[in-house]
Amino acid sequence: MPQPIPTLRWEGGVDGHLVLLDQTRLPNEVVELHCRTVEDVWQAIKRLAVRGAPAIGVAAAYGVCLSLNSSGSLPLAGRVGEGVRSGYPALSPLPSPPHQGEGTGGNNIEVVRLACDYLATSRPTAVNLFWALNRMRDVAACGLAPEQLPQALLVEARAIHAEDAAMCTAIGQHGADLLADLPVGTGILTHCNAGALATAGEGTALSVIFELARRGKRPHVWVDETRPLLQGARLTAWELTQRNIDCTLITDSMAAQVMRQGRVQAVITGADRIAANGDSANKIGTYSVAVLAHAHDVPFYIAAPSSTFDPSIATGDQIPIEQRLGDEITCGFGQRTAPEGVNVYNPAFDVTPARLIRAIITERGVIKPGADL
């Protein structure tokens, strides 16, 4: 059974708006979030109402469409946050959004450019965000008549959306082919959420698992809860349960024990950015899992679309790592669990070196880290 509401969808035509499944409220509430301005989308990305590298890219592309949308003249405050009980700490102050709904004539291109610059400040690590925004910038720069631009932008955003869904399907098939020899009931560990909630399709890592299930392999998924924001517990466990996939939730620190007990035959995670040499950034804790997998001779795979590759940087050392507020650790979900004033380090991602990655499963096939796509 697929999830009850799509992760993201565009409602209406050029003057339409973006509707997101608000992931801060899962698994307790299934609630849609209506984004009608660029700032709404920026906020939704920043506070992880929409998250996961591919989904962030798709949402941002639709966000650019909103920059020329006449409904953008509505007051900004109060809509995204309305009634939200996410348990997430408050955000730091916003950079100024571009003027919206005023894009007439030649100003349209400038409005789009400013919207892209603004959305690019929402989160730094997932390269899919910048990849999608570059595609939208290219549409704005291709010399269309100003009145044609809104439609052209929407066509491009829809294309990015559809391509991502197709890439997920292909990743699932290539991954299931790769793991075809694993026995029925095999144990697969995953970290964070790289499922339908993180993409416009069935996901990357979870797409492989869903395809294995369709092929009768009955995988058993070990779900790392994924501190501090619990994407594994709140989102991956929810998705797997929705689809009747056998799974067991563990805290992140239990991964070594289940591997030692021989319960894990493969690890598959997503990625937020893959450098030219194959070093891969993903949710904080992924690197530890890769080290553990190596120590227990368990193959560690990354599943990611080509939009996650950043050939412009040589190694993972150059991947910008998002630093998030310490409150996520000391006061996550509204419950204080550490003394006031304690120093906190809260990087949202880490980098797994290519040498620990057995293979990267892409929509174009399975590659060894560092190979040309």
Tell me the catalytic residues.
Answer: 272
Measured from the CB of residue 60, what is the shortest distance to ligand MRU in angstroms?
Answer: 13
Among 100, 122, 231, 362, binds ligand MRU (CB under 6 A): 231
Which residues are within 8 A (CB) of 264 and not within 5 positions of it... i.e. 6 or more apart? 187, 188, 189, 222, 255, 258, 293, 296, 298
111 binds ligand MRU (CB under 6 A): no
270 binds ligand MRU (CB under 6 A): yes
332 binds ligand MRU (CB under 6 A): no
Measured from the CB of residue 294, what is the shortest distance to ligand MRU in angstroms?
Answer: 19
Give the dihedral sign, CA 77/86/289/238: negative
Element (H, E) at 224: strand 220-224
Listed residue (138, 141, 139, 201) closest to 167, CA to CA: 201
Among 25, 36, 51, 273, binds ligand MRU (CB under 6 A): 51
- Secondary structure (DSSP) of 158-176: HHHHHHHHHHHHHHHHHHH
Measured from the CB of residue 281, what is the shortest distance to ligand MRU in angstroms?
Answer: 8
282 binds ligand MRU (CB under 6 A): yes
Residue nearest ligand MRU by beta-carbon distance: 270
What is the 3-state composition of the chain as percent helix, strand, coil, each rounded to the nearest 5?
Answer: 40, 15, 45
DSSP 347: B
Task: Please give the Cα distance from 97 to 103 (Å, whole number).
Answer: 14
Listed residue (11, 37, 7) closest to 22, CA to CA: 7
51 versus 243: smaller Cβ distance to ligand MRU: 51
Measured from the CB of residue 152, what is the shortest distance to ligand MRU in angstroms?
Answer: 27
98 binds ligand MRU (CB under 6 A): no
43 binds ligand MRU (CB under 6 A): no
Residues 144-183 binding ligand MRU (CB under 6 A) are none
Q: Beta 187-190 vs 220-224: how paired, if at all?
A: parallel
199 binds ligand MRU (CB under 6 A): yes
Which residues are within 8 A (CB) of 344 and not within 5 positions of it... i.e. 6 or more apart? 326, 329, 330, 338
- Which of the ranges 13-21, 45-53, 89-97, 255-263 carries the binding residues for ligand MRU, by CB under 6 A? 45-53
Cβ proximity of 324 and 332 under 8 Å: no
Task: Please give the Cα distance from 169 to 363 (Å, whole number).
Answer: 8
272 binds ligand MRU (CB under 6 A): yes
- Secondary structure (DSSP) of 351-364: EE-GGG-SEEEETT
* Secondary structure class of 135 (helix, strand, coil): helix
- Which of the ranges 1-9, 28-36, 50-58, 211-219 carries the binding residues for ligand MRU, by CB under 6 A? 50-58
362 binds ligand MRU (CB under 6 A): no
- Which of the ranges 44-52, 57-65, 172-180, 365-373 carries the binding residues for ligand MRU, by CB under 6 A? 44-52
37 versus 199: smaller Cβ distance to ligand MRU: 199
52 versus 369: smaller Cβ distance to ligand MRU: 52
Which residues are within 8 A (CB) of 332 and not within 5 positions of it... i.e. 6 or more apart? 87, 89, 228, 229, 230
52 binds ligand MRU (CB under 6 A): yes
- Which of the ranges 153-161, 197-205, 330-338, 353-361 carries the binding residues for ligand MRU, by CB under 6 A? 197-205
Footprint on this chain of ligand MRU (rule: CB under 6 A): 48, 51-54, 126, 192, 194, 198-199, 203-204, 231, 269-272, 282-283, 348
